[in-house]
Every structure is written in structure tokens, then in C-alpha cells.
Amino acid sequence: MAECDPCSDLTVRQDCRISPHSIKRVLLEFLIDAMAKSHTIVPPVAAFRGIKSPDVFGRLVDTVSDYAIFVLDPSGNISSWNPGAQRLKGYLANEVIGKHFSIFYTAADLAKDKPAHELTMASKVGHFEDEGWRVRKDGTRFWANVIITRLLDDDGQLIGFGKITRDLTERRLSELRYRLLIESVNDYAIFSMDPHGHVTSWNSGAQRIKGYAPDEIIGKHFSAFYPDEDRKAGMPETVLRTAEREGHFEGEGWRKRKDGTKFWANVVVTALRDEEGALTGFSKVTRDLTDRKLLLDELKRHSAELELRIAERDQSNAELEAFAYSVSHDLRAPLRAISGFADALQEDCAQQLDRRGQEYVKEIIDASRRMNMLVQDLLEYGRVGRISAPLASVNLLNAINEARRQLGDVPPGSLKVDVPAVLCVCAHPQMLTQVIFNLLSNALKFHKKDLLPEVQVSAEKRDEYVRLNVRDSGIGIAPEHQERIWNVFERLHGRESYAGTGIGLAIVKRATERMDGSSGVISHPGDGSTFWIELPQGPSK
């Protein structure tokens, strides 16, 4: 601080110590000067120059209780003591005046001769300011902000020091708690930077993630963490400009450790401003998300491979369906010829054939019919995969009745339907009828030997869907077979036991999925089966 001009009014004894008469005036001038240096709003010094009464100065200094304000002689012995000093340090005036001010310092500071160093610095440059732990009369410590100012006479000779002490313990403890909290975080690199991007603090998480010890990185520019290509592109400057302009910056990208290895980082940079809005620096929080990045990249790679395989499968399936359709279509003409000639042979030449010949003819006719059914089912399966007509609201009971009509003769009492007449589903009418026909046909076919089939059809609402259940009392299906029965050409029984092509349930599954629905089965061997389909509910007609 600057030299105290008002000391020209002081009375100095021959031993160069300030007389008691002048101490309070010294304190006032010193207080005004110190507060001005610390940016505290005070009236101009000139406003006090006309005030001569020492009592006025004394009352002003004595009313200050938040600051310890006192004067030291050139050797550091205490010459005055205000109520703030008594409150802060715990000493009465008669207990401390005349003693050396080093009684307020810790043993560690005394071992380094810190009191003498502070007076030396104040003597040389005019003032000294510091923060550190100080000791009260009762031995407790407090964190102090200290300002020491030299006092000179008219001839420029040192006559003492003014000293102001503030108790900043709460602020210090708050800072320590914050620092301990930050330093204890190992999963995040948390550090601060000055307005130009130079590192000013460094926590243990930053050391773990980036590899730098505090003394290796503090003072260096944070661009050291960026790969060369990002530095050349001006990424660090862009980050700081964005944070300064918008308040913060958040992004992800590759960053570089001390050993040159890279890691994928999530970064948040926040601008720090003082009470007046001036930029004081930045805080930066970095997370290492390398494992997540590698996992996502691996998932993307697998997803791309899966999409490629699905596309290849779809292409293969499309080609197989086209081939099956072509073969099935082309087979129908020769099949009709075989069947026709076999029928003619049976009708016109039956008398000329022996029993074995007649059996051969019958086998040809039966085989051609089975082949014709297989071709027909293959064509139906392919047609289901190609239908692109929009879905419409279809009355479920009407579709069941149509499928029942297509079944033809059904043993009396074998089929019971309990479906509300108002239920509608979103479906393709012909496709829905085909699905129900196949389910009813299966349920009636796979009954127990020597027993008539018993089939119950019911329906129920399930949220936004309608479930159609087809329950039979037949032979049932073992759990290990309940998945594969939906595949093309899957048969669990020989043709001699139960006729069929093994395509009916495959048509049910494909058609239901094409109508945005699903299908399934609940079954136990010997206890019948319940096949179900679910379709979106449609508006009532």
C-alpha cells in the first residue's frame, strides 16, 4: 500500500514510538486507506481531514467490531487495540498492548519466522497482505486475512505499522469442504482454468483419467488434452468461446492422456463470472466414456451386420417364394394331366386291371390329389406374403361363419362358437377367413382316436387388441414342438395318421403378422390345445 500521508500530524516520541495521543488518528487514516485498497466503499479521505478531535476518530475505530485494527511499533510490539481485535483474538487491551504480535501465529509459522518476514515486506514495499491460520488467546485457530501497512514520518522514517485482520474462517472451511469434495471424486476430472484456458486447479479424478500430476499440468494450457487434428482445427478456442458466449459448452470427443493414448470424453465447460459479470475463468468436468463408446460402436457394427443379413435373408426368401410360386404354378398343369389320365384309366380300364393294378391307379390318384393340395397351399403361402391391400375393420363373427361355411360338413355338436356379434378387428377380409379356416381345420383334424372332435371358439378384448381362441380336446402338443409347428412343412405325425401338407400353421403365422397381429399356442400332450391369434381392435360396423 501507499505511504500514509496523514502521519504528518502525528506526535512521535524520541524513541520513535507513536504517542498514545496520535494512535487513534493513525488507525483512522490507516483504516480508510486499507478499506479503499480492498475496494470497500468509504467516503473520501479528504472528508475527514477537517475533523481534528481525537475523540471522533476514537469512536469511529472503536465501533468497528468485524475487524481487528491495531498499531505496531517498528519492532512489531502492539501499541493499540480496538474492540474488534478483542472480539476476534480474545485478548483484553491490557493483556496484549506491549507484547509482540507474533503471539497470534502458529508454531509452524513461528518456525519459519513469518512475523519478521511480513514486517520486512511491509517496510520495503509499503504494505503486505496474506491469508493464513492465526491463534486466539484460548489456543483456537481462525483463518485470517491480514493487511499490514508501514507508517512513515515527515522525513520518511519508519515509525510503525498499521494492521487489519479479518476472520474468514467460514469462507476458508467452505473452500476446504468444496476442495475435499472435488478432490475425493475419482470418476470425474474436475479442474478450473483462467480466462485464457490455463489450468489453475487439478483433482485426483483428473490425475487418474488424464495421467498428469498437479505440478505437471497446473499453469499449462488445456489444449494439451486435445489430439493434434483438433488443436489445428481450433477446437479448444471454440470450446472457450462457446462457454463464454452461452454460459457453458458440452460435447463428446476423443481426448489425449499424458502417455499419448486416447479416451472418449464427455466434457462440460462452464464460464465463471464475478458479481459484476466479468469473466474470471472456467470450470471443466470430464468423464471417461471410452467403454460406452466402444460398446456403442460394437452395437452399431453388429446392427449393420444384422441389417445386412436380414436384407440378404429377405432377398433369399423373396427368391425362394418366387421360385416356389413359379414351380407350384407350373406343376398344376402336369398334375391335372396325371390326375385326369388316372381317373380315366380307373373308369375305362378298371375291368382289365387286376387288383394290384387297381391299387396302383388309386395310389396315383391319391398322390396327385395330395400334390395338388400341397401346390395349392404353397401358392396360398406365397400369396399371403405378397398381399399389400390396406387393412379394414372386419366383423370377427362374420369371418368365423365364412370359414365355417368353407369347411363343409362338420360333425354335429363338434364346433361351438361364442363370439360377440359386435367385435371387429383390423384385418384383410380374405386373409382373416383363411387364418380362421386353417385353425378350425386343424382343431377338427387332430382329435383323439374313436372320439368326435370338440372345438370351442371364443374371443375377448385385450387392451387395444382382440384375441380369438380356438380350443380343441385333441391329442395336444409337447412343449418342445410348440415353436417349430409354425414352420413350413413341419409335421409331427405321419400322413397315415393325420392328413395335411404341414403349411397351414405357417400360413396362419405369416398372415397374422402381415395384419399387425401375433399368434401362439397353449397345449399339453393328451389335454388338447388352444391356438390363438391377436389382432388390433377395429371400429364397430
Provide the pLDDT confidence category of residue 49 given band limits of 50, 70 and 90: very low
pLDDT at 388 (0 to 100): 63
3-state secondary structure of 40: coil
Q: What is the mean pLDDT of residues 208-216?
A: 94
- The mean-pLDDT minimum among 170-174, 281-285, 451-455, 466-470 falls in 170-174
- Burial environment of residue 341 by CB neighbours within 10 A (0 to 12, 13 to 18, 19 or more): middle
In angstroms, the CA 46 to CA 439 distance is 107
pLDDT at 310 (0 to 100): 86
Average pLDDT, the chain: 81
Give tens-digit pLDDT for 482-536: 787 887 656 555 455 555 556 778 888 988 988 899 999 998 888 889 999 999 9
pLDDT at 260 (0 to 100): 94
In angstroms, the CA 311 to CA 294 distance is 25
Q: Using H for helix, E for strand and C for coil, what is the string for 194-212?
A: CCCCEECCCCHHHHHHHCC
3-state secondary structure of 482: coil
pLDDT at 161 (0 to 100): 93
Comparing 3 with 154, which gets the higher pLDDT? 154
Q: With a cut of 80, say whether residue 59 has pLDDT above it.
A: no
Helix or strand run (H / E) with residue 246: helix 235-246
pLDDT at 503 (0 to 100): 76
- pLDDT exceeding 90 applies to what percent of the chain? 45
- The mean-pLDDT minimum among 11-15, 185-189, 323-327, 358-362 falls in 11-15
Provide the pLDDT confidence category of residue 271 given band limits of 50, 70 and 90: very high
In angstroms, the CA 134 to CA 142 distance is 6
Strand-pair partners of 518 = 534
Q: What is the mean pLDDT of residues 109-114?
A: 95
Q: With a cut of 80, say whether residue 8 has pLDDT above it.
A: no
- The mean-pLDDT minimum among 39-53, 114-128, 399-413 falls in 39-53
In angstroms, the CA 59 to CA 173 distance is 33
pLDDT at 21 (0 to 100): 45
Q: What is the mean pLDDT of residues 7-34?
A: 46
Q: With a cut of 60, say whether residue 354 has pLDDT above it.
A: yes
Q: With a cut of 90, say whether residue 374 has pLDDT above it.
A: no
Q: With a cut of 90, say whether residue 225 has pLDDT above it.
A: yes
pLDDT at 228 (0 to 100): 94
Q: What is the mean pLDDT of residues 74-92?
A: 93
Q: With a cut of 90, say whether residue 6 has pLDDT above it.
A: no
pLDDT at 19 (0 to 100): 47
pLDDT at 485 (0 to 100): 82
Contact yes or no for 342/363 (Cβ under 8 A): no
Kindly state the cell numbers that stand for 131.
491469508
- The mean-pLDDT minimum among 36-45, 190-199, 460-469 falls in 36-45
Q: With a cut of 50, say whether residue 434 has pLDDT above it.
A: yes
pLDDT at 328 (0 to 100): 61
Comparing 174 with 256, which gets the higher pLDDT? 256
Provide the pLDDT confidence category of residue 365 given band limits of 50, 70 and 90: confident
pLDDT at 231 (0 to 100): 94
